[in-house]
Amino acid sequence: MTHQERVFSGVQPTGNLHLGNYLGAITKFVALQESHECLYCVVDLHAITVWQDPKELAGNIREVTAAFIASGIDPKKQIIFNQSQVSGHAELAWVLNCVARMGWLNRMTQFKEKAGKHKENASVGLFTYPNLMAADILLYHATHVPVGEDQKQHLELARDIAQKFNVDFADTIKEAGFEEGIFFPQPEPLIQGPATRVMSLRDGSKKMSKSDPSEMSRITMTDDADTIAKKIRKAKTDPDALPSETDGLKDRPEANNLVGIYAALKGVSKEDVLKDHGGAQFSTFKPALAELAVEKVSPIADEMQKLLNDPAELDAILKDGANRAYTIADPIMKKTKEIVGFIG
Ligand code: AQP
């Protein structure tokens, strides 16, 4: 038995969906739907690894769903769904909790960053977050996972977990009909393009993030044109003109970030941006970037608003997606149980 190519990725409904999420992940989702079977998940189980206000969570789930659709993902052609509506995610995560090793998780930098100095107070879920992420992907035997650079380490862990499962259960995997001994394919990360790590507009050394206390650090998918222009105008930069080659962006994190954002929005390389804008001062480059950002983001924001005006329709799309996701996940979960030795 071999595995067909399948794409899986997720976005957390934690509010403040931003340009980093869009350029690092969602635009890739849109492109892949032309060539692959894709599952795009609103990962609410992941979201609750840090406190989420129950009164806001449903709205945030709908916001990510609306962003997927407004960005161009077709929910009829591909599967858009909500993680907690397919029970296999939590079930498989438990099995994988028993495959992954403490030592592996202890090396995860995202846990260290998010738990900070208050490790003892972090939820257990935040620590085992990468096992749930491995379950998300492996539950569908997904082969490709488009993500931003920050998820690279988690993807490597998912590959290690898949491999350990295949080795630990080699005999029963073969008995289950997988002659080559591969039940879980090792997923390939897809981390490409000029904006795999969009940085904060206030600090070129920090990732643009939903949880940054400064609103000015990020452009959100619901910002209006004036707000986008203001945030770009106020973005931190250095005093020099743009270089004409990418080598000149080394040691200039803020310039590098703005050029990367421009390139990704325009769908060209950083080299191409510098061919056109090399030598320009930020006083001329920033308005050009603002115009481009408004041109790309505003129609999505408008469409999101329209979709959000009909929450029942969004809920129906998620329900339909969950039903379709379940039909792929269920046989894989059943096989997993058989391989582990549970009574079916
Ligand atoms: N700054 C970024 N640049 C490029 N890609 C990014 N992603 C996140 N930030 C950037 C990618 O977006 C996808 C969804 O991310 P997520 O919702 O799972 O959450 P996250 O990685 O924890 O994102 P945030 O926004 O940075 O949240 P907080 O503030 O909670 O840490 C992923 O593919 C991610 O790589």
**Catalytic status, residue 114:** yes
Q: Are 14 and 202 in contact (CB under 8 A)?
A: no
Distance 24 CA to ligand 1 centre (A): 8
Q: What are the tens digits of pLDDT across the range 218-228?
A: 999 999 999 99
Largest CA distance in the chain: 69
Q: Which of the four pLDDT bands, split at 50, 70 and 90, describes residue 344?
A: confident
Helix locations, the chain, DSSP H: 19-21, 27-32, 44-47, 54-71, 88-97, 102-106, 109-115, 124-138, 152-168, 170-175, 225-233, 253-266, 270-277, 282-308, 311-340
Relative orientation angle of helices 124-138 and 152-168, to the nearest 10 degrees: 70
263 with 273: CB under 8 angstroms? Answer: yes
198 CB within 6 A, ligand 1: yes
User: Which residue among 111, 150, 200, 256 is best mutated to probe the pocket of ligand 1, counting the most ligand atoms within 8 A of its Cβ?
Assistant: 150
Distance 148 CA to ligand 1 centre (A): 7
Convert the pLDDT of each residue in 6-55 to its tens digit.
Answer: 999 999 999 999 999 999 999 999 999 999 999 999 999 999 999 999 99
Mutate to test the pocket of ligand 1, among 18, 21, 27, 50 (most ligand atoms within 8 A of CB): 21
Q: Does domain 6-196+310-340 have CATH number 3.40.50.12280?
A: no
Structure tokens at 105: 């998780």
Residue 243 has pLDDT above 80, yes or no: yes
CB distance 209 to ligand 1 below 6 Å: yes
Pair 49, 123: CB distance under 8 Å: yes
Angle CA(226)–CA(292)–CA(228) in degrees, nearest 5?
A: 25
pLDDT of 122 reads 97
Kindly report the protein residue whose alpha carbon is nearest to atom 19 of ligand 1: 12
User: Does residue 257's CB lie within 6 angstroms of at least one atom of ligand 1?
Assistant: no
Distance from residue 208's CA to the centre of ligand 1 (Å): 8
Looking at ligand 1, which residue's alpha carbon is closest to its atom 23? 209
Annotation marks residue 207 as catalytic: yes
Report the distance separating Cα 298 and Cα 277, nearest Å: 24
Ligand 1 centre to CA of 303 (Å) is 22
CATH 1.25.40.10 fits 215-306, yes or no: no
Tell me the CA distances in angstroms from 325 to 27, 36, 104, one per residue in order: 21, 15, 29
Residue 69 to residue 85: CA distance in whole angstroms: 19
User: CA–CA separation, 131 vs 144, rounded Å?
Assistant: 17
Q: What would the pLDDT profile of 107-138 be if each residue is shown by its tens digit? A: 999 999 999 888 999 999 999 999 999 999 99
According to DSSP, the β-strands at 188-190 and 144-146 are parallel
Instruction: State residue 2's pLDDT score.
Output: 56
Under a CB-based contact definition with an 8 Å cutoff, are residues 223 and 299 in contact?
Answer: no
Q: Does ligand 1 lie within 6 Å of residue 106's CB atom?
A: no
337 lines ligand 1 (CB under 6 A): no
Cβ atoms of 339 and 162 within 8 Å: the answer is no
Examine the residue annotation and report whether 28 is marked as an active-site residue of this protein.
no
Picking from 277, 289, 286, 261, the residue whose alpha carbon sits closest to that of residue 195 is 261
Distance CA 9, CA 33 (A): 12
With the CA atoms of 70, 72, 73 and 77 taken in that order, what torsion angle do they form, in degrees rounded to the nearest 10? 120
Catalytic residue among 164, 206, 210, 337: 210
Q: What is the pLDDT of residue 118?
A: 86
Distance 285 CA to ligand 1 centre (A): 26
- For tokens 């591909």, the residue is 78
User: Rounded distance, CA 293 to CA 218, Å?
Assistant: 12
Ligand 1 atom closest to Cα of 64?
17
Residue located nearest, by CA, to atom 14 of ligand 1: 11
Domain boundaries, the chain: 6-196+310-340, 215-306
User: What does DSSP assign to residue 83?
Assistant: G
- pTM across the whole model: 0.96
- pLDDT band of 4, cuts 50, 70, 90: confident
Query: Distance from CA of residue 158 to its chain's centroid?
Result: 15
- Cβ of 150 below 6 Å from ligand 1: yes
Residue 325 pLDDT:
98
pLDDT band at 244 (very low <50, low <70, confident <90, very high): very high
How far apart (Å, rounded) are the C-alpha atoms in residues 211 and 218?
10
218 lines ligand 1 (CB under 6 A): no
Q: Are 306 and 64 in contact (CB under 8 A)?
A: no
Residues 298-317: what's their mean pLDDT? 97
